[in-house]
Structure formats: C-alpha cells, structure tokens
Structure 1
C-alpha cells in the first residue's frame, strides 16, 4: 500500500474513536478516509452544508455560530484526535454552524455512507462517539451554569487552569484571539483584557507576546476560580 494509506492508518490507530477497532477494521477506515489540508482561516464547512465525519489530524479548528445579533459565538476548539460534523452526519441533515481552520490543518474525512456502514459493523465506535458527545454536552451545561453563577473573573481563571492542564505545564499560548475567547466566555474583549491585566498585576500570571501566558501562582488562580 502507498505512503498515503500508511499515513492514514497510523493516524486511525492513534485516534481514540477508532483505537478499539480490530486491525482489519482500522485498515478499512484508513482506506475509506480522505485527507484534506486547509490553510489558516480557510473554511472547512458552513451552515447548509452536508458534512462527512471530520477528524483533526494536525492543526486547530474553530467551531462557531453567528448569533441573531450578528456576533460570532465560539462553540469549541478542535485539536488533533477530535472529530466534528457528527450531528449533521448522523441525522442526515445540513449543518447549522461554521468550522474554520485557525492554523494550517490536516483532517481525515469519511463520507456518511461509509461511516454509517462502519457503525453498523462496529457498534463500539458509536458508543465511543456517544461518550464523547455526551462529555461535550456536559461541558456546555457546566459552562451555562458557570456563566449564570460565576463572574467573568472566576470563569477566566477556570479556563486558564484548564489550558495549563492541557499544555502540561505553566506556560501556554492562548489558542484563540482575545475577542474569540471573550465571545466564548460571554463577555467583551475589553473586559477580558482588564481581567487578564488584573491577574498579572496581582502576580498570578504573566502575559507575554503572541498570546503567551505563564501561570506564576496556580494556587492563587484556583482560589480565584472557586471564590
């Protein structure tokens, strides 16, 4: 088999969604998947499109909606190993949101017919997908609850702790612009900048160039998140 297939097979084996499949099934997924590359800020799909299953191999993908007031509402960020497009795919409908590459990105795509057959042959994939989607729903519900009961300062501290945990250390780069992060937190970019500045003045974090952040006092940040 060619290098392209070997490349896809290596990726399929590394993705949790397909990791539990027998080797022969992983081979079929790799053969059925198509690799697509996207430039920075290139749209992957938008409202009204019929999607396949997209699995992020490399890069970062922003999923968002446009609100009735015309503002952009960030839904989530998708990093390597994450999948998207599943709602429209499983319901056989068109999507109602946008997906855009925030960085040069590479995604593996499987069309609806092939993916539906895979689900029929290997229900474990459906179970894994449901667990992931359920986790996303739980996170969204927590966010709604948090935004209604916590201040922007608390929610920002919680997000910074989460990003540090994902990065595996105190230093990390904000994955989005301040405007996008503010949209996600339900506030304005100006308010977000003030809250970040206050945390820096208090010696809790250090802000660097190109959206770099260093958590100097994680315990203090945890106290901010919880009080």
Structure 2
C-alpha cells in the first residue's frame, strides 16, 4: 500500500561544491530562518548557490491553496531555469527553513560563451542539477494530481467502512468539510465522487448516507 509521500528533498549536494570554486563571481547573502525569499527585479534573473541552510519551494494553486513542492539543502543551485529562460512563475515562493547563506550569481553567466568554455564542468553539473529537480518536482506534481485525490478519498472511505464495520453508514460531513479534511478543492472532490459512482463503487454519497457497493474495487484504488 502506498504511503503518504513526504515533500521531496534535495539534500546537501557534495557534487555541487565545485561552484564554491568561483564564489568570487557571486555576492554573499544571509537570511534568518523563517524568512520568505522574494526574488524581484534583477534578482529574479540571477541564480543562487546554497552554502548553508535549507529552502522550501511552495506553489500556490488556482484555488489559493499553498502546496509544498521541494526542499533544497546545502550545496544546491536554484533559480537557474528562470535565469536561463527569463520566465518566472509568480505562483512559486521560497522560504528559508533554517538560517541560510546564499551566493548570488549573475544570470548572464549561463548564456556567456566565455563562461561555458572556461567552466564546462559547471555547465554539466548545472544540467544534472536541473534534471534532478525536474524529476523530483514531477514526482510531487504526479502525486498531488487528480488521481492522488481519488486515492485519498478511497483510503478515507475504506477507513470509515472499517471503523463502522459496515458498507453503509452516515459520514456526517458536507462535501466542503470533507474536501478541507483531505486538502483538496471541493470541485476535485466532486469529480472523484462522480468517478466512483460511474464505476459502481459507491451509490449514495451524502452527509447523511453513504453506500459502498464494490468494496474490492475501492480497496484496489486505496492501495495504489
């Protein structure tokens, strides 16, 4: 049975320590734990090396919910994608989880032919770093998509059926209350309920009455 996934974390990265060899090209910045890191203006198009501490990357969805995406530890590089492309996602935020020391590199380095020729090992390292982050964030987004909400709902229904010792019981929750408890938008919950009904897994699903009609199929979804 699949467990709740923790926030993916890119831990202290020794392979990125080669960036410490060119700190003379960067500017040192220090922030206390709990500090929200705001990248604006020219800071938005630069990239950063974490010498000390941890950063949490969060994303605010269209329904206003803030979702943790990735934790970056010492030795990691971040904001390189924005530095390379000039594209910023305004729904992404950074938070210093610990006292943090960063080194800010000019984003123009990444598009400089001279820099690429002089430091090819850094360019290779950066590509590996971007690949790792993409894989980790893809895993998070895959887990937090609509299928994950369906799995969450199926697990909750299975637990409730076990607690009641019956396949028909009174949930005692409105759809909004259940959505809040599961951490999903109400519209997502409604789509999941419709999907379970369409598959013949549940019939009635109201605050006062819930009938599970195919417990085996429900278990299969819950165990994903």
TM-score, normalised by the number of residues in structure 1? 0.51
Match of 1:122 among 119, 123, 134: 119
2:64 matched to 1:38? no
Q: Give the Cα–Cα distance (whole angstroms) in 2 for the partners of residues 143 and 50 of structure 1.
A: 24
Does the Cα contact within 8 Å between 1:50 and 1:95 map onto a contact in 2?
A: no
Q: Give the Cα–Cα distance (whole angstroms) in 1 for the partners of residues 55 and 89 of structure 2.
A: 16
Partner of 2:100: 105
Can you list the C-alpha shifts for 1:22-42, whole angstroms capped at 9, x where unaligned? xxxx64x12112111002222
Could you say if the C-alpha distance between residues 63 and 120 of structure 1 is closer, same or farther in structure 2, counting changes exceeding 3 Å? farther
Could you say if the C-alpha distance between residues 122 and 105 of structure 1 is closer, same or farther in structure 2, counting changes exceeding 3 Å? same
Partner of 1:133: 130
User: Per-residue deviation at 1:47?
Assistant: 7.0
TM-score, normalised by the number of residues in structure 2? 0.52
Q: Give the Cα–Cα distance (whole angstroms) in 2 for the partners of residues 94 and 141 of structure 1.
A: 18
Q: Give the Cα–Cα distance (whole angstroms) in 2 for the partners of residues 120 and 74 of structure 1.
A: 37
Could you say if the C-alpha distance between residues 53 and 15 of structure 1 is closer, same or farther in structure 2, counting changes exceeding 3 Å? farther
Could you say if the C-alpha distance between residues 105 and 122 of structure 1 is closer, same or farther in structure 2, counting changes exceeding 3 Å? same
Choose 1 or 2 for highest CA Rg. 2
Could you say if the C-alpha distance between residues 145 and 63 of structure 1 is closer, same or farther in structure 2, counting changes exceeding 3 Å? closer
Q: Give the Cα–Cα distance (whole angstroms) in 1 for the partners of residues 142 and 64 of structure 2.
A: 24
Can you list the C-alpha shifts for 1:151-206, whole angstroms capped at 9, x where unaligned? 459xxxxxxxxxxxxxxxxxxxxxxxxxxxxxxxxx96x669xxxxxxxxxxxxxx
User: Per-residue deviation at 1:90?
Assistant: 0.8
| Higher relative contact order (CA closer than 8 Å, sequence separation 6+) | 2
User: Mind listing any 5+ residue stretches in structure 1 that lack a counterpart?
Assistant: 1-13, 154-186, 193-225
Does the Cα contact within 8 Å between 2:69 and 2:140 map onto a contact in 1?
A: no
User: Per-residue deviation at 1:137?
Assistant: 2.0
Partner of 2:86: 92
For residue 50 of structure 1, give the secondary structure of its aligned residue in structure 2. helix
